[in-house]
């Protein structure tokens, strides 16, 4: 009769062989089933196959560009702030680019470019200004009048750094609107979307109305 330690080492060996077999089966099953994660896949196999932190993820730029949001179930007016995933953010890059000084003779972006870039600036919409030129515009409801002026100040820091400036409006004591266009192009250029993406990176939760906690009970 093998001693207790010997029995344990036998069981450990059997277990290791089972884990390895499950891992191989798991990878094979996951490959057969595409990227869906199969129940019982050994976590090491999943990491080897799918990388770190597999699970819910933000949409890629391509998915954002495909209007996939129009085809999903859900309330049409639910406010979804969809941001490209961090890694994709490096590729998309708007928030990491710099505005370039715009002199005369700059062409405005065409419709397809406008739509592509707008999808990477959550919350900004394409509008026409009083002169009929393309603009991008964002509206915030802020906590109070002072918060509106604080938001102006935070946007001003970014605008001065970029040498590109939005028109800012504070109306009805708590509604802030920022609107950008490129004067030299009489329309929109990448500068406007770079500034919008950088404004989106501002931490402004302290300026927005406190969310009333929802009790589901
Ligand atoms: C030379 C310099 O790029 C221009 O004067 C900048 C200043 N800030 C600007 N801001 C905005 N929104 N549009 C412009 O065209 C613009 N031009």
Q: Tens digit of pLDDT for each residue in 14-63? A: 766 766 665 566 545 444 544 444 445 566 655 555 555 445 555 665 66
Does 161 contact ligand 1 (Cβ within 6 A)? no
* 168 strand-pairing partners: 178
pLDDT for res 104: 78
Does 164 contact ligand 1 (Cβ within 6 A)? yes
Does 180 contact ligand 1 (Cβ within 6 A)? yes
CA-based Rg of the chain, rounded to a whole angstrom? 26
Does 183 contact ligand 1 (Cβ within 6 A)? yes
The Å distance, Cα 115 to ligand 1 centre, comes to 22
State which residues of the chain have pLDDT below 50: 27, 29-31, 33-39, 53-54, 89-90
pLDDT for res 46: 54
The Å distance, Cα 92 to ligand 1 centre, comes to 23
Distance CA 82, CA 63 (A): 11
Contact present, 15 and 22 (Cβ < 8 Å): no
Other C-beta atoms within 10 Å of 195: how many?
A: 28
Nearest CA to ligand 1 atom 7: 164
Does 163 contact ligand 1 (Cβ within 6 A)? yes
pLDDT for res 211: 83
Distances (CA, A) of 88 to 59, 85, 194, 209: 9, 5, 15, 30
Nearest CA to ligand 1 atom 15: 182
Does 104 contact ligand 1 (Cβ within 6 A)? no
Q: Tokens 């919350």 label which residue?
A: 123
pLDDT for res 33: 47
Would you say the ipTM is above 0.90? yes
Does 119 contact ligand 1 (Cβ within 6 A)? no
């Amino acid at each position: 009769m093998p001693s207790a330690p010997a029995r344990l080492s036998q069981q450990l060996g059997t277990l290791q062989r089972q884990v390895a077999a499950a891992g191989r089966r798991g990878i094979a099953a996951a490959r057969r089933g595409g990227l869906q994660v199969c129940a019982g896949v050994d976590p090491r196999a999943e990491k080897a196959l799918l990388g770190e932190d597999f699970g819910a993820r933000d949409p890629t730029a391509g998915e954002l560009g495909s209007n996939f949001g129009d085809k999903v179930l859900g309330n049409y007016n639910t406010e979804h702030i969809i941001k490209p995933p961090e890694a994709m953010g490096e590729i998309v890059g708007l928030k990491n680019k710099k505005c370039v000084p715009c002199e005369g003779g700059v062409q405005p972006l065409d419709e397809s470019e406008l739509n592509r870039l707008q999808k990477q600036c959550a919350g900004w919409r394409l509008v026409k200004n009083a002169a009929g030129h393309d603009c991008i515009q964002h509206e915030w409801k802020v906590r109070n009048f002072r918060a509106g002026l604080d938001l102006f100040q935070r946007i001003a820091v970014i605008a001065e750094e970029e040498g590109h400036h939005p028109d800012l409006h504070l109306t009805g004591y708590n509604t802030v609107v920022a609107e950008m266009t490129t004067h030299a192009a009489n329309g929109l250029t990448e500068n406007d979307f770079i500034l919008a993406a950088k404004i989106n990176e501002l931490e402004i939760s302290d300026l927005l109305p406190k969310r009333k906690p929802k009790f589901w009970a």
